Structure formats: structure tokens, C-alpha cells
A and B are shown apart, each in its own frame.
Chain A
Amino acid sequence: MPKTDPIVARAVDLYKTYGDTDSQVTALDHVSVDFRRGELTAIMGPSGSGKSTLMHCMAGLDVPTSGEVLVEDLEVSSMNQKQLTQLRRKEIGFIFQSFNLVPTLTAEENILLPLQIAHRPIDRDWFDKVVSVVGLENRLDHRPSQLSGGQQQRVACARAMMERPSVIFADEPTGNLDSRSSREVLGFLRQCVRDYGQSIVMVTHDPRAASFAGRVLVLSDGSITQDMDHPTYDDILAVFAEHDDPDNGPVDVEPVTTKED
């Protein structure tokens, strides 16, 4: 059932603050943005820029202080638990930085899990196609602990693709991967968009990862400062060079263990 609306998800005047009145931090400062169908959108920005908060609000994982989130014209920001569950089953897929596979299930079981949870029929052809794209044909009966990081993340990607959601949110999908695995995963995401018209929103701080995207949004202090269509790696680096203290050069990859808040 192809959907016609060119906008798959939209944020309207999103405002989000953390902490109490004494030490309030504004994470999102009245952000409005549309995410287009069939496009890989990357959200970039330094630590504390609000890029993760934007994605969490879009995905219904966090509730904005004010403003509206719409996914497929459904208002996410006012949904109750039950509606959120339905939303997650039908419209939203996730890919996380730390893979988040169920350790007791095999790769195949992990990939099929969302469909089974939602009591939806399994499309075997689609399954085979997805598995062949991520290149996991020989690894299907392995447990996550028997897979490498890249393989685990490919399983996670396959899991997200399996239910063909309206939009997949990917939170630093390459944050825990070496560069080769990163390229494989990003290639797969781009292929999904190109071949199957999947809409993907990806949060990343890695300019190289962002360069795979069709559109790059740059956040700074809770506001969108850049909206680039098909930027090259150099375009992206240039933006960051402007933003930061020129003496420090381009923004470097953050250490993995620091928590962004």
C-alpha cells in the first residue's frame, strides 16, 4: 500500500526542556521540520545540540514540552501507551547504536521478532530478499553472541526492514562499528532507500556516515542551522569547520563512552 503523501513525518514547533526551573536546559528550541518519504535523512550536530532529542520525540520515545509530532499524519506526541505500541508495530522501525538484539534468539528469530510480536504474517520472499541484501544467509541460526558487531548491526537493520515501516529511526547506527562494517551498514541503508523506497531518519555525528544521506540537517543549541540536499563529505566538513573554533579543525568523532544529554 504505497502512500502518496510526500511527507512521512513532521515536527511542528517542537520545544523541549530538561531539568527544573533553576537549571533548565533547552534541548529543542521551537524546531519545525518535514521528513520526506523515500529519503535517507541524517541529523547531525555536536554533543548537546539536541539531535538525539529530536529523534526521540519523533519516534515517540520522548514527549516534547510543547509542539506536535506527526508520523503518517498521526499525532505521536499525544498518544497513550496502547497507541504507541500500535505505532511502533506499524509505522516505526528502530536501529540502535548498541545493536540491541535479544541474546536468547537466533539471528532469524530476531529478524522475525517484530512481526511475531505484532501477530503479522511473515512474508518469506521479503525475508529472503532482506537477508540476502544484508548478506546474512549463512548466519541465520547464530545467536548474537556468535556474531561480530557488524553482523549484529546488519541483523538489526534486517529486523527494522522486515516490517516495512513508514519510517526507520537509526540512532548512531555506526557508533560502535569499525569503518568497514560502518560502510556495509550505511550501504545497506542507502540501498533500502534507493531500491525499496524506505524512509530513514538517522542521527549521527560522523560526517562520513552523514555523507551517505540524501539530506543532512545540522542542529546546534536546539535549532536547525543547516538543511543540505545531497551534500558531499567535503560540504559537510566545511559546515562544521564554520561552526567550530577554526583552530580545532573539523569536529572529531566523540569517544564512545561519553553520554550525550
Chain B
Amino acid sequence: MFRIGLRDTRAHFRRFIMSIIAIALGVAFVVGSFCFREMLNDQVAQMMGSNSDADVYVRGATEQKQDGEDGFAEYNSTYNEISTDVIADIEKVDGVVSADATHQLSNVVLLDHNGDAMATVGAPTLVIGVDEQDPWRSAHFVSGGYPQTDDEIALLEDTAGKAGLKTGDTAKIVVDGEAHEKTVSGVFTSPSTQLGAILILAPPSFVEHTLQQEGEDTSSVQFIGVYGDKSTPLDAEAQQRLADRINKELPKSADAHAVTGDSVRDDATKSIQDQLGFIQPLILIFAAIALFVGAFIIANTFTMIVRESMRGYALLRSVGASPLQVFASVLVQAVILGLVGSGIGVLLGWGLLELIAKGMTSSGMPLSGSPAPSATDVVIGLIVGVVVTIVGATLPAKTAATAPPIQAMNETVNPEKPVRTRGWIGAAMVVVGAAWWTLCYLDADKRVDWAWLKDLGSGWTLGLGAAFIIIGAIVCAPAFVAPSAKVLGWIPEKLFPVTGKLATRNIGRAKRRTANTAAALFVGIAIVSCLGVVASSMKTSVSNLVDNNVNADYVAMTASMTQPISTKAVDAIEKTEGVGASSAVYMLPTVKVTNAAKDVMTAAVKSDLLTRLAPIEKQDGDAATVIVDGQVAVGRMVADDEHWKIGDVIDLESENTSVDEAATKQASEAYRKKIEEQATALQREAQSLAAAGDAAGAQAKARQAEDVVRQGQDVDPKQFVRTKTETKTAKVTIGAIIDDALYADSIFVSLPTAEKLTDEDMMMITQMYVQAKPGADVAKLGEDLKKTAKPFYTVSILTRDEFKSSMSSMIDSMLAIIYALLALSIVIAIFGIVNTLALNVSERTKEIGLLRAIGTSNGQVRGMLAIEAVILSVFGTLVGIVVGVAAGVVIRVAYEEQGLTTLTIPWGQLVLFLVVAIVVGLVASISPAHRALKQPVLDAVASE
């Protein structure tokens, strides 16, 4: 039987090509998704290895409870912070070469040699505080060396290359809105690529000083990194020994604990990898579609093969082959097919990943993670492919094995099992799903107020609804094939009376097959139309908001995600000739509302914003006057969530860190005293040695004493800066509640109120709205503003239209990725349609032969199959569009308060989907029609 199976495989190989492609694509997705994840993991692990390369880390010893809600909690914030004072103790430990708390600045922009701000694709710009004494072991200098003074920086080779800078050049970095000139002291590489991050090394004193200026406490840190060797990393055992030695020496009061570098890296790697894990399921959805279609194509192909080979099987049976043997001979073919298909799929997935890696590298995100599939990936891919093939082939194989020989001799198509039950079950599921969506809609629209519904949250209601509707639609689709074919066939029947009628009736013949074929398109189109509705609603909502609510002529925005607009820039813009009203939006990240249930954002604005630049349309009270009076105005959404009303008092609190002058002075005094004492002691020893006649010894001691004094002078005074944390609180009354969407999610105060709580340094200015003076030339103002903003490098001035399109282009680039995946699912759907038609044609060989014998032209046969294919693909697409748009509508309502104020259905896009569906149908019908016409009429109709 095995040999018969093998021979059949060879004979049917052409038939198998499509199945192989489908399996290969599905497996490629599966393997690709695993490989992609592993590549990222590999990259993360590599980066951890080179970026957190200390042999031992000293961290807090007391574990801290985290707020459960915060999913994006930093992986290293689970222990208490430790004081940097402990560094001195660690450095004394035997075997420690250096110990240092490395600080980083992330809100910096590097300017390239043309003076333009350098942007990255999502990767950060980091200034890392290291120098000769506290080095970064993994950095290897290609030229030059560590920065020696605060006026020097070193650059990563990738960064230097992109910026067009080399050792000795003058570079500019923008810190806190001010450009600083720096000399490039060196260019270095690190063992792993940095995913396009811009890395700058600067002396620790510079970094710490800048941090202190920004109100950050540099005296306590999460980690202190310890090196046991200047050049080579310690192995695991040596790390452990060093950590043990350090732990012995750490004072109890420091509340600190030393752990090996490996363990910290492992934890950190794992936690980042977990955060990246979301990408895989997304790819796997499309893998599932591909495999579903694949299994289905295989089932169809085998049905065809079995049908054509029925005589052979009947013969085998009649000469004594057992049903099991016949079954096996079919299954052997499936296994071979599965192995070939998934083998190709593994290679395809790998190739795809290599392409992605290349693409990312060339778009500025160099990857050094390996995209090669692991042995497990290959095995998983092969197993998935083979299992899917076997699942697909089992039913046809069973038919082949169990059909009685006599029946097998006659060409009969068994009538389909009725689809009514399936229809009811599916319809019930769709109704349940729709009920969930309705609940979600009613809840979001505030028509009902049920606590359990609120507790469940819109995510769950949406998700449950979607799951029920999609599965229900797939289940009940066969029952709707015939009626919808009648409706969809109306136009073709009018255009082509005979072929249209034949095609329309044919669609209803194999309802399950038709429905399954359409399902592949349905799922893909549903996802994309849903996103299309959400995205276009997002765009129009933003643009309506700008059109209706924003009167500003220009908006100043920061070009770098991490760097806010500096107050100097705000001042400069305000002073620009022709500026009438203007207001910056000062976010107050340190200010918290202590009597609110959720985290609420607080912002300080000028009253001009509320009255002139973006006037409020609907509010209770008068926001503009109450904030001047020191009260707050609250967005409607916040007020509803917290059940606040006008007249309620809220508690604002802000933790402010600033330089503690007294403590700083004390620290540097203490240091000076210590140096003096040391010097005096050494001098005294020198004197006593001199008195004892040891002139050489005395000289040496005297030199030591001088060294100590010089060291004391060389020490950077910034090292002694101590910071303190003050908590300021204020009780303020709610004076107004604003309904407008623009203001719905925040609390607003005036600048003077804000300054009572926190320093101007700690406010973040993200946007600034500017209006021209009445009568001023708006266009000229724009040019002047651009000139004003130029020296601040990171401030961009946008016109109203630019402001709108800056929002849309972000949405568009997100959609592009989804569309790419859609394109793939369409390709797979085409395979499905081609295959189903091919099976239909093979089942209707006689009938098509008859039609041709009584005068049907080749064109009419092609037309009939084309209409069938088009009806099929339009059916899938229409259901997909209906479900997708419904989902989009519900999502839009559910997130109305987050700014999705206007529903826009992208009709143009939906029509495009339909046109694509028609084209897909036409294309898919070409090959089956060719096959149908290749069959001689005689073979089809000759009497048996």
C-alpha cells in the first residue's frame, strides 16, 4: 500500500502544488513568528550582555510591593533604592576593580554635522555617564577614548556614522532645550548592535549634574555595577564569589545586597522579552488563517484525487485490499505532501525573517540577533504542516476506504448533508456576539448604567462579541450561501442571463465548501475593515477637533518624543513679532491628586487657551475665570469617573526634588576636612621620618601628602551635590467642569497655581498654541516663528493642516503593516478559491462537457466560472465588511471619550475592497476554467 501511495503521489504531483504552497505559507508564518520572537529575544539578550555588563550588581535588599495595575512596571523597580555612599565601601572589597552607579540622560537630542536633529525609528537617544575611572567595559574604542572633560563626548560608531561625525569634530547636543557644543573624544563600538539607538558617552559628573538640574535625585540608585576585571568578564563562579565577598562587607544600614551580573541580566532579559511577546500572537492569527485555508485546500485536493481514483480504489478493494490499507495509501500521500510543504515553509519563514532583518538594518535599526530557526522551530513547523495535511486528508481518505466497491464504480456525488442545524447554531452564536456588542454600545453610550457591565470593561465585551460573531458567522455561513448567491447573482444574471443563472445556482451546490472558502477572506477583510473604520474615525475626529475647536494659527510641538519644549523657547515664541494670544500646555507629571481613584493628568494652561486659542464650547461654570482664581477646571470624563462636582475640593500633591544647598555645602566641607586630615597626618609622618634620618622615606611621604592635596583639588565639586525631596500639597476647589473632548481627560490649573506646587523645571511643555495678532500677516508670522524656533532645534512649528496631518500620518503608518498582512491573507484566499473551483470543475466534468456539446462557447464556460468565483469572493468580502464595520462602530462608541468623537466609515476603502474581491474572483477562475476547457467534450459526455 505504501508503494501505491508513493506512486500516486508522483502521479498527482501537479495537483499537489497548490496544497504545498498553502501549507508552506502557513508553516512559514508559524516558523516566522517563532523565529521573529527568538531573533528579538536574541537581540535583547545580546544588548543586555553588552549594555548591562557588570560582573556583580548591588541592589536594594528589601523587595517592594508594586502597584498591580501598572503592566509596564520597570523590571528593576522591585527593590528599594540604595545610597551611592555605599560605593566607597564596595570599592574597598578585595577583587573589585571599579564600582559605579551609571546614570543616563534620555531627553537629549544629538545634532548631525548639518545641525539637524537626529531622529531614530523608535530607539532612544541616551547619554551615558562613564569615563576612564568608571568605564563601560563593553565599549571598545575604534578611535580616540573616553571623554575627559564636561566638554567632550564619545559616540557609538553607528551613531557617529549616521551623524557624519568623527573623533575631533565638534558636535552639538541639545539638553533641556539648550544646545551645547562638545568635542568628540572618541568613537566606540559595542559587541551587540543597539537597534539604531543613539549612544553618547559623557563624563558622569556632567550627566549627574544635568539630572540634578532637572530635579532628579542622583544620590540613590537602583543598581551599582561592579567590575571584577577591566577587560574580560568574570565567569559565573567568579561573579558569585565576588558577590559573596561584597555582601560580607556591605554595612547592614545600607539595606543593599550584591547579586551576580548574570542573574540581573537574565531577569531583565526575560522581562523585556515578555513585553515583546505580544507581537507573536498577531502573526499567529494570520498563520492560523493560512493553515485553515491550507487544511481546506488539502481536503479539496484529496477529495478530487480520491474521486478520480475511485475506480482504482474499488479495484484494490475488490481484489482484497482492506479499507485500512486503502486509507493508508491515501494518507501516505498526505504525509509526503505535508513534509514537502512544511519543509519549504520552514525555509520560506527563515528567508522572510532574513529579509525583515535586512530591511530593519537598512532602515536604521541594525539587528545582530540571529533570524535562523532553532531546531525546535523546524520541528514545530514540520509537525504543524504534517498534522494539518493529515487532518485535511483524513475525510477524503475515509471516503476512499469505506465506499462500497460498486458505488465507487459509478460516478455519483453524494448529496450534501443539510446545513439547517449549522445555520441555527451559528446564527445563535452571532446573536450572542451581537448582544455583547450591544451591551458594550449601550454602556459606552450611557444608555444603561449597570455596575457589572462597567466592571467587565469594554475590552471584554468587545472581545467576547467579536469571538462569538466571527465563529458564529463561519458556522452559519453554509446556510446563507444559497440565499446570498441569489441576491449577489442578481446583477450577473441581468448581464449574462444564462451563464449568470448557471453560476448562481452552482454556488449553492456545495454550500459548506463555498462557505469555508469564503471564510478565509471573511476573517481577513473583517479585521481590516474594522481597523479601517477605527482609523478613519480617528483621523476625522482629530481633524474635526482641530477645525472646530482650535483657533490657533500655529502649534509648536516637540520634534523629539523625549524632549519637551524648553521654557526659553516658549518665551522666545511669545516675544515673536505678530504673536497675539498664545499658551503652552505645561504637563505636571509630579502632581498627583491624592483623593482620586485613578491617576489623573494635571496640566497648567493660560486662560487664553480656554477662551481664544481652543475655546470651550460646553462647560459647567467658567473654566477660564476659575483657574485664574486658583481653582481647577476638570474634564467631564475625569469628573464622571471620580464622581466629582463643582464645589468639591481635591487634594493636589507634588514631590519635588531639588539641590539641597546646606547638605551639599556640608558634604564638600566634610570632604575637604578629610583631605586636610589625611595630608596633615602624612606630613606628620614625613616629619617624624625625617627626624629619624630616613630622608628618602620622608620625601616619599611628603609626596604622598602632596598627592592627596592635589586629589582633593581635582575632585569635581559636583560630586558633593546632595538633593532633597520636598512634598508640597494644596487643597483646591473644582470651579468648572469642561465637556469638550479636547479637555475631557485632564485637570487644568493656572500657571501660578502650578508654581505653588512645583518648579517650572519640573513641568513638561508638550505643545504650544499660537494665534496671530488681529491684523497681523499669518503667513509671515509662520516664517518668523520658524526662525524663532530654529535655534532650539527640537521645536517644530506646524500650521493647522500640518498639525492635522501629523496625527493622520502616524495612523497611516500603523495601518500599513496591517495592510501588508492583509495582502498575504488575500493571496492565500485566492488559492482557496482556485482550489474550490478546481474541485467543482472536476465534479462537474460531465455537466460542463454537456454544456459545451449543446453549444456553450469557451467564453461562456469561462464566464460562468468567473461569475461563480466572483460571487464567492464578494460573499466573503461582504460578510467581512459588515462584521468589520459593525465592530468598528462599536469600538468607536466604546472609545468616544478617548477622542473618537466622529464616526467615519471609509466608503471609498470599502468599495475598493469589493473591487479587489471581484478582481480576486476573476483571477482565481482563470486556471480552473482552463482545466475545464482542456477536458475534451467527448470524454465528458461519452456513454459509459
Least Cβ–Cβ distance between A176 and chain B, in angstroms: 9
Stretch from B294-302, B705-713, B723-731, B935-943 forming part of the interface with A:
B935-943
B599 interface residue (CB < 8 Å to A): no
Contacts of B502 in A (CB 8 A): 102, 104-105
* Mask of B486-511 contacts with A, CB within 8 angstroms, 1/0: 00000000000110011001101100
A1 interface residue (CB < 8 Å to B): no
Least Cβ–Cβ distance between B479 and chain A, in angstroms: 18
B285 interface residue (CB < 8 Å to A): no
Sample of 10 more A-B contacts, CB < 8 Å, known A56-B942, A62-B938, A85-B852: A88-B855, A89-B855, A98-B846, A100-B849, A100-B941, A104-B506, A105-B502, A117-B854, A163-B855, A172-B943
The verdict on A100 contacting B847 (CB below 8 Å), with A85-B856, A85-B857 known, is: yes
Contact B854–A257 (Cβ < 8 Å): no
A-B pairs with beta carbons under 8 Å apart, 29 shown = A52-B942, A61-B853, A61-B938, A61-B941, A81-B858, A85-B852, A89-B855, A94-B853, A97-B943, A97-B944, A100-B846, A100-B847, A100-B850, A104-B505, A104-B508, A104-B509, A105-B502, A105-B505, A113-B498, A113-B851, A113-B854, A114-B854, A116-B497, A117-B498, A117-B851, A171-B941, A171-B943, A175-B943, A257-B410
A259 interface residue (CB < 8 Å to B): yes
Contacts of B501 in A (CB 8 A): 105, 109
Contact B857–A82 (Cβ < 8 Å): yes
Contacts of A163 in B (CB 8 A): 855
The listed residue (B506, B855, B936) touching A114 by CB distance below 8 A is B855
Contacts of A257 in B (CB 8 A): 409-410, 944
Contact A102–B944 (Cβ < 8 Å): no
The listed residue (A98, A102, A105, A109) touching B943 by CB distance below 8 A is A98
Contacts of B506 in A (CB 8 A): 104
Distance A82 CA – B501 CA, assembled complex (angstroms): 23
Contacts of A85 in B (CB 8 A): 852, 855-858
Contacts of B855 in A (CB 8 A): 85, 88-89, 114, 117-118, 163
- Taking chain B's interface residues, is the majority helix, strand, or loop, or is none over half, making it mixed? helix
Contact A52–B860 (Cβ < 8 Å): no
Contact B941–A94 (Cβ < 8 Å): yes
The listed residue (B847, B852, B860) touching A102 by CB distance below 8 A is B847
Contact A96–B505 (Cβ < 8 Å): no
Contacts of A249 in B (CB 8 A): none
Contact B944–A259 (Cβ < 8 Å): yes
Distance A88 CA – B860 CA, assembled complex (angstroms): 14
* Mask of B904-944 contacts with A, CB within 8 angstroms, 1/0: 00000000000000000000000000000000111001111
* Mask of A151-192 contacts with B, CB within 8 angstroms, 1/0: 000000001000100000001100100000000000000000
Chain B residues 832-886 with CB under 8 Å of chain A are 846-847, 849-858, 860
Distance A62 CA – B938 CA, assembled complex (angstroms): 7
Least Cβ–Cβ distance between B232 and chain A, in angstroms: 78
Contacts of B854 in A (CB 8 A): 88, 93-94, 113-114, 117, 159
Contact B509–A98 (Cβ < 8 Å): no
The verdict on A117 contacting B860 (CB below 8 Å), with A171-B943, A259-B944 known, is: yes
Query: How many residue pairs, one in A and one in B, have C-beta atoms under 8 Å apart?
Result: 85
Distance A81 CA – B936 CA, assembled complex (angstroms): 11
Contacts of A171 in B (CB 8 A): 941-943
Interface size on A, residues (CB 8 A): 34
Least Cβ–Cβ distance between B294 and chain A, in angstroms: 30
Contacts of B943 in A (CB 8 A): 52, 96-98, 171-172, 175, 260
Least Cβ–Cβ distance between B929 and chain A, in angstroms: 14
Most chain A CB inside 10 Å of its own CB: which residue of B506, B855, B858? B855
Contacts of B849 in A (CB 8 A): 100
Contacts of B846 in A (CB 8 A): 98, 100
CB-based nearest A residue for B506 = A104
Contacts of B938 in A (CB 8 A): 56, 61-62
Distance A161 CA – B834 CA, assembled complex (angstroms): 37
* Mask of A61-76 contacts with B, CB within 8 angstroms, 1/0: 1100000000000000
Contacts of A88 in B (CB 8 A): 852-855
Contacts of A82 in B (CB 8 A): 857
Distance A257 CA – B409 CA, assembled complex (angstroms): 9
Chain B residues 675-705 with CB under 8 Å of chain A are none
Contacts of B857 in A (CB 8 A): 82, 85, 117
Distance A171 CA – B498 CA, assembled complex (angstroms): 26
Distance A246 CA – B34 CA, assembled complex (angstroms): 79
A103 interface residue (CB < 8 Å to B): yes
Distance A89 CA – B505 CA, assembled complex (angstroms): 23
Distance A61 CA – B936 CA, assembled complex (angstroms): 8
Least Cβ–Cβ distance between A185 and chain B, in angstroms: 15
Contacts of A113 in B (CB 8 A): 498, 851, 854
CB-based nearest A residue for B498 = A116
Contact B941–A96 (Cβ < 8 Å): yes
Distance A259 CA – B501 CA, assembled complex (angstroms): 34
Least Cβ–Cβ distance between B507 and chain A, in angstroms: 10
Distance A87 CA – B75 CA, assembled complex (angstroms): 82
The listed residue (A56, A102, A175, A256) touching B851 by CB distance below 8 A is A102
Chain A residues 98-122 with CB under 8 Å of chain B are 98, 100, 102-105, 109, 113-114, 116-118
Nearest first, the 3 closest Cβ-Cβ pairs linking A and B are: A104-B505, A97-B943, A89-B855
* Mask of B390-419 contacts with A, CB within 8 angstroms, 1/0: 000000000000000000011000000000
The listed residue (A52, A103, A175) touching B847 by CB distance below 8 A is A103
Contact B850–A102 (Cβ < 8 Å): yes
Distance A173 CA – B1 CA, assembled complex (angstroms): 41
Distance A104 CA – B506 CA, assembled complex (angstroms): 7
Least Cβ–Cβ distance between A153 and chain B, in angstroms: 12
Least Cβ–Cβ distance between A164 and chain B, in angstroms: 13
* Mask of A229-261 contacts with B, CB within 8 angstroms, 1/0: 000000000000000000000000000110110
Least Cβ–Cβ distance between B14 and chain A, in angstroms: 23
Distance A88 CA – B857 CA, assembled complex (angstroms): 10
Distance A27 CA – B308 CA, assembled complex (angstroms): 27
Distance A93 CA – B853 CA, assembled complex (angstroms): 8
Least Cβ–Cβ distance between B791 and chain A, in angstroms: 78
CB-based nearest A residue for B504 = A104
Distance A96 CA – B938 CA, assembled complex (angstroms): 11
Contact A117–B856 (Cβ < 8 Å): yes
Least Cβ–Cβ distance between A91 and chain B, in angstroms: 10
Most chain B CB inside 10 Å of its own CB: which residue of A56, A88, A89, A100? A100
Contacts of A102 in B (CB 8 A): 502, 847, 850-851
Distance A126 CA – B356 CA, assembled complex (angstroms): 70
Contact A98–B847 (Cβ < 8 Å): no
Contacts of B936 in A (CB 8 A): 61
Least Cβ–Cβ distance between B483 and chain A, in angstroms: 15
Contact A98–B944 (Cβ < 8 Å): yes
Contacts of B850 in A (CB 8 A): 94, 96, 100, 102
Distance A94 CA – B853 CA, assembled complex (angstroms): 7
Distance A163 CA – B508 CA, assembled complex (angstroms): 29
Contacts of B858 in A (CB 8 A): 81, 85
Contacts of B851 in A (CB 8 A): 102, 113, 117
Least Cβ–Cβ distance between A114 and chain B, in angstroms: 5
CB-based nearest A residue for B938 = A61
Contacts of A159 in B (CB 8 A): 854
CB-based nearest B residue for A100 = B850
CB-based nearest A residue for B406 = A257
Distance A114 CA – B944 CA, assembled complex (angstroms): 24
Contacts of B937 in A (CB 8 A): 61
Distance A163 CA – B851 CA, assembled complex (angstroms): 14
Least Cβ–Cβ distance between B513 and chain A, in angstroms: 15
CB-based nearest A residue for B850 = A100
Distance A178 CA – B117 CA, assembled complex (angstroms): 93
Distance A128 CA – B110 CA, assembled complex (angstroms): 91
Contacts of B508 in A (CB 8 A): 104
Least Cβ–Cβ distance between B735 and chain A, in angstroms: 75
Distance A100 CA – B856 CA, assembled complex (angstroms): 14
Distance A102 CA – B508 CA, assembled complex (angstroms): 14
Least Cβ–Cβ distance between A235 and chain B, in angstroms: 26
Distance A244 CA – B126 CA, assembled complex (angstroms): 103
